[in-house]
Amino acid sequence: MMEAGTLTPRTGRSTLERSGRARAADPILRWTLKALAALILVLIAFFFVRLFIEAKPAFDKFGYIGFVFNNNWDVSRDTFGAWPLVVGTLLTSAIALIIGVPIAIATALYITELAPRRGRQPLTILVELLAAVPSVVYGLWGIFVLAPKLKPAEQWFSDTFSFLPLVGGPVSIPNCFIAGLIMAIMILPIVSAISREVMATVPSENKEAALALGATRWEMIRMAVLPYSRAGISGAAMLGLGRAIGETIAVTIVIGNAPNVPETIFSQGYTLAAVIANEFGEAASDPTHRAALIAAGLVLFVLTLIINAIARSYVNRAQRGERTVPQGMAG
Amino acid sequence: MTTLPAVSARRRFTDRFMRSLTLVLTLVAIVPLVLIIYYLIKEGLGAWSVDFFTTDPTGRFLGNPGGIKSAILGTIVMVALASVIAIPIGIGVALYLVEFGKQGPFAKVVRYFVDVMTGVPSVVFGLFIYIVLVVSQIGGTFAAWKGSVALALLMLPIVVRSSEVVLNLVPDSLREGALALGAPRWRVIFRVVIPSALAGLVTGSLLAVARAAGETAPLLFTAAFVLGTQFDLSQRMNSLPLQIFNDVGQAQDRLVQRAWGAALTLVVLVLILSLVARLVQRRSRLA
């Protein structure tokens, strides 16, 4: 910790430097830092413009609507309609959310409200360690361990519940479900962390009031914690969705990279992010193909931008009580 | 003394059931972590040997596939350069937000877009650098420094966010005390604010470094892949994630074995960084 002592003169120079020269550096520092901040805004705008310019040939050839909604991604015939990729992205992300979000909320509830005090820190660290595992390692584990081990269970599920939509038929080893499952594991730490932050802002008066009225622990959670943090949890789930949509390498490894609209959750598929990573090498020599991949990247960019913007406004609203930044001195 | 009416059996059962359910789901969340670590050690440790760390991948279709020396060194070099770019800029932006921008409209916009940038998929950063620096042939095609720039873009929002949180924890009384002594703003920032928050700044930066070390997608289009060890930043450079990604794609037992070994190396590297970050944080906590 710093003490005021550091400000005492060391070289005989007075600290009461009220001369204009000593303060001349203030505006310089201020404007340099402000320029750095502005740089971020410029970068994002530049991103968007450059991606758009490079993707333009694909949009010109296939149309904006056509590029997104045409079910025809055929590299050999130089035809690029991204619908199979969009469907694959939405399907795998939906699987990830359905599996990942309830588990994330349960861990957040358990850690903030129910766990014995000594267990909280270790549990938090363990859940956060999931975020430390690199994407490519999830992919490696997913394709060589998880996919083969789960195949019998998937086949059983597929046969037993074939009356459900998107279920039934043979199970291929790389498939959309495995991709969704891996994504669920990968989004779990962030959804759980933000849910925990939001739940921590629930006033203890509300919780104590519920308990004082005779509520059980679970009723207290249902009546005091969940309603208060609903917006924040929705935001956390949407941030998870943003992560899932953009997840690239793990998905590229386990999804099978087949450019067709998946018939069931156990078919091979493709996603917007995976197509970029997988086909970028062959596209280097084909301008249309390259433009199509960049267009896929642009769709991905816009999609995650919108989702994150909405998610952030939810989360920020939920945290506002807690997050009043201390007002500094008059500057 | 009157006793309260007992909680009905149904309510008690619901309470027990839901509480156990959250516990079970929490354990379920940890299962993948345990499994991944188990398989990494089981499959990866077998690949480890002195040769594994001291030879480059040979790229031969048959015979000895070689080790991962170039990948380890490449990751260290590129992540180091990315850190040199991203950490000063990130801390600078955070300083602006906390010390000057505060709750002003410009600071709010910047804060919002930094949050948004956190959510941009890493593959999009890679694609962007590919368009801006690789396709346009600035200084050749694929190059290590371009990979570093892509990683730096990825690290930037993480550094800004974590630094901002720590800088906000520096008590205003410290700043006010220094200002009251007549120190100019820049000295207050460099002599009081930054030293007070140093541990937290280091922690946040290390976590960003750990994150960058594991990223594959941004390097795929920028630093590309190469077998040999080299330190020329204007040439292609190998990296651990890319080595793993390539070996997985080959689906040959020997290469998959190497992928497990490289994955274990990468995870150990990332865990060490995270651990050091936590230790720094623990040693000096503000407030």
pLDDT tens for each residue of B139-186: 778 899 999 999 999 999 999 999 999 999 999 999 999 999 988 999
Do residues A265 and A176 lie in contact, with contact meaning Cβ atoms separated by under 8 Å? yes
> For residues B261 and B49, what is the distance between their CA atoms, to the nearest angstrom?
9
CB < 8 Å to B259, chain A: 140
CB contact under 8 A, A106 and B26: yes
Option in B118, B130, B270 nearest A134 (CB): B270
At position A140, the amino acid (one-letter code) is: L
**What top-level class would CATH report for the domain B53-283?**
mainly alpha
Does the pLDDT value for residue B241 go beyond 70?
yes
Quick one: DSSP state of residue A19?
A: S
How large is the average pLDDT for residues A254-258?
90
ipTM of this complex prediction, to 2 decimal places = 0.91
Does the pLDDT value for residue B190 go beyond 60?
yes
Residue B233 confidence (pLDDT): 87
Q: Which two tokens mark A107?
A: 């861990």
Secondary element (H or E) of residue A74: strand A71-74
Quick one: DSSP state of residue B8?
A: P
Do residues B214 and B239 lie in contact, with contact meaning Cβ atoms separated by under 8 Å? no
**A24 or A7: which leads in pLDDT:** A24
> For residues A25 and A28, what is the distance between their CA atoms, to the nearest angstrom?
5
Tell me the pLDDT band of A113, cut-offs 50, 70 and 90: very high
Q: Which domain holds residue A93?
A: 64-319
How large is the average pLDDT for residues B209-221?
92
Interface test with A, best of B40, B127, B266 (most A CBs within 10 A): B127
CB < 8 Å to B35, chain A: 141, 145
> For residues B263 and B38, what is the distance between their CA atoms, to the nearest angstrom?
12
Tell me the pLDDT band of A3, cut-offs 50, 70 and 90: very low
In this structure, is residue A197 part of a structural domain?
A: yes
Return the residue matching tokens 């048959």: B62
How many other C-beta atoms can be found within 10 angstroms of the C-beta atom of residue A77? 7
Q: Which two tokens mark A243?
A: 């992560």
How large is the average pLDDT for residues B110-119?
88
In this structure, is residue A329 part of a structural domain?
A: no
Mean pLDDT is lowest, of A177-181, B217-221, B247-251, for: B247-251
**Chain A: nearest CA to B76, how far in angstroms?**
15
Of chain B, the percentage scoring pLDDT greater than 90 comes to 62
CB < 8 Å to B271, chain A: 129, 132
How large is the average pLDDT for residues A151-160?
91
Interface test with B, best of A10, A18, A107, A136 (most B CBs within 10 A): A136
Quick one: DSSP state of residue B47?
A: G
Sign of CA dihedral B279, B283, B286, B287: positive
Does the pLDDT value for residue B2 go beyond 80?
no
Q: What is the dihedral of CA A273, A274, A276, A282, to 10 degrees?
A: 180
Q: What is the mean pLDDT of chain B?
A: 90
Secondary element (H or E) of residue A123: helix A117-132
**Chain A: nearest CA to B228, how far in angstroms?**
20
Quick one: DSSP state of residue A164?
A: S
In this structure, is residue A300 part of a structural domain?
A: yes
- The pTM for the full model equals 0.89
Does the pLDDT value for residue A256 go beyond 80?
yes
B27 touches chain A (CB under 8 A): no
CB < 8 Å to A311, chain B: 119
Does the pLDDT value for residue B286 go beyond 60?
no
Sign of CA dihedral A135, A140, A143, A147: negative
Interface test with A, best of B209, B216, B279 (most A CBs within 10 A): B216
CATH number of the domain encompassing residue A146: 1.10.3720.10
Number of domains in chain A: 1
**A22 or B263: which leads in pLDDT:** B263
B6 touches chain A (CB under 8 A): no
Residue A285 confidence (pLDDT): 81
Give the angle A204-A210-A211 at the CA atoms, nearest 5°: 90
Do residues A51 and A297 lie in contact, with contact meaning Cβ atoms separated by under 8 Å? yes
Do residues B225 and B132 lie in contact, with contact meaning Cβ atoms separated by under 8 Å? no
Residue B118 confidence (pLDDT): 87
Q: What is the mean pLDDT of chain A?
A: 87
Residue B262 confidence (pLDDT): 95
